[in-house]
Chains A and B, each alone.
Chain A
Amino acid sequence: MEGDIVQMGAYVGAGLACTGMGGAAIGVGHVVGNYISGALRNPSAAAGQTATMFIGIAFAEALGIFSFLVALLLMFAV
């Protein structure tokens, strides 16, 4: 019985942790959207900033991956 409650808590926690990935999605969307709006205003400067955009995407995405990892840990490793 006690084990079942712990398991339920772990699964609920995993589900809640997955909401963090939505935040990462918003973040990646902001990075790319701002890059594109800037690139449309000044297309000549866009090519030089592609690498910066990818670094920004990587940082924003890493946090979503962390929340996904927390969810996986709760489901499989707790």
Chain B
Amino acid sequence: MADTAQPSEKSDGLVFHPMDQFIVEPLFGSGPIHWYTVTNVTLWMGLSVVALVLLMLVGTSKRALVPGRAQSVGELAYGFVHKMVEDVAGRDAVPYFPYIMTLFMFIVLSNFLGLLPMSFTTTSHIAVTAVMAIGVFLAVTVIGFVKNGVGFFSLFWISSAPLALRPALALIEIISYFVRPVSHSIRLAGNMMAGHAVIKVFAAFAGVALISPLSVVAITAMYALEILVSFIQAYVFAILTCVYLKDALHPHH
């Protein structure tokens, strides 16, 4: 519906495009986007790597016994994720800690970088979060079968339930198992996209003089909420990864 009528409407009146901030475009010149093209996705993912290097490498380079600010934050992130892995997934999940730390740091840095004005939020794209969620799903499934062999199927065959109910429960468990990557990825991308789109909608209302003060207040409030959401969604992504990992390591309910 959107493709035929819109170009003529563009030029007049109050027009806003809340989804335009998610457009992927080449950084240099224009043209078709191939898989290797350097785009704004590359730029903002690269900036998240830069931020990671500043926080985790430059910040901790002094190895100070009494940490400075950057080192404190780095150690805080380390301790936070390490404790989460230990508490939720158990002690034998600690070897997988660097992978979960990678996901957490990438998501949290991308989310916060996406909050900068005029920036591009890489984690608001289903393609990005789906790759991570499918990666977690495949990794967890492989780990489950490697560690437990056929015993991994006991995740779906709940031995504490009455025998008559078990096939139905197994069906539900299998469905919920395969829905995991879907909800895992859409949760993160949807949250980020929703927050940014809502801020953009309020920003468009600021064009009308009468309601612009209200709009600015609403943008401020949404921005505060988005700061919270940025962290919580990264936390939730990481903690759900830990939960899935725990299921893979200890499939017996």
> A62 near B194 (CB under 8 angstroms)?
no
Write the chain B residue with the least CB distance to A59.
B183
Contact of B186 among A7, A54, A57, A62 (CB under 8 A): A62
Say how far A4's CB is from chain B's closest CB, in angstroms: 9
Q: Provide the residues of chain B in CB contact with A16, threshold 8 Å.
A: none
> A55 near B236 (CB under 8 angstroms)?
yes
Complexed CA–CA distance, A20 and B236 (Å):
21
> B243 near A72 (CB under 8 angstroms)?
no
Interface of B: prevailing SS: helix
- Asked whether A10 is an interface residue with its Cβ less than 8 Å from the other chain, the reply is yes
Contact of B183 among A10, A62, A72 (CB under 8 A): A62
Write the chain B residue with the least CB distance to A78.
B1
Complexed CA–CA distance, A10 and B2 (Å):
11
> A58 near B187 (CB under 8 angstroms)?
yes
Write the chain A residue with the least CB distance to B84.
A51
Complexed CA–CA distance, A76 and B2 (Å):
7
Chain B, 3-43, contact with A by CB distance < 8 Å: what is the 0/1 string? 01100000000000001000000000000000000000000
- Asked whether A66 is an interface residue with its Cβ less than 8 Å from the other chain, the reply is yes
Say how far A28's CB is from chain B's closest CB, in angstroms: 11
Complexed CA–CA distance, A2 and B186 (Å):
32
> A54 near B239 (CB under 8 angstroms)?
yes
Chain A interface residue count, CB cutoff 8 Å, equals 19
Complexed CA–CA distance, A65 and B195 (Å):
11
Chain A, 34-73, contact with B by CB distance < 8 Å: what is the 0/1 string? 0000000000000000010011011101100110110010
- Asked whether B191 is an interface residue with its Cβ less than 8 Å from the other chain, the reply is yes
Q: Provide the residues of chain A in CB contact with B186, threshold 8 Å.
A: 62, 65-66, 69
> A54 near B187 (CB under 8 angstroms)?
no
The answer to whether residues A58 and B190 also contact, given A6-B1, A76-B2, A78-B1 and a CB cut-off of 8 A, is no
> B197 near A65 (CB under 8 angstroms)?
no
> A7 near B1 (CB under 8 angstroms)?
yes
Contact of B187 among A7, A10, A65, A78 (CB under 8 A): A65
Contact of A76 among B19, B88, B187, B240 (CB under 8 A): B19
> B190 near A65 (CB under 8 angstroms)?
yes
> B232 near A69 (CB under 8 angstroms)?
no
A-B pairs with lowest CB-CB distance, top 8: A65-B190, A58-B236, A62-B187, A7-B1, A62-B183, A69-B190, A68-B194, A51-B88
Point out residues on B near A: beta carbons under 8 Å: 1-2, 4-5, 19, 84, 87-88, 183, 186-187, 190-191, 193-194, 197, 232, 235-236, 239-240, 243
Point out residues on A near B: beta carbons under 8 Å: 3, 6-7, 10, 51, 54-55, 57-59, 61-62, 65-66, 68-69, 72, 76, 78
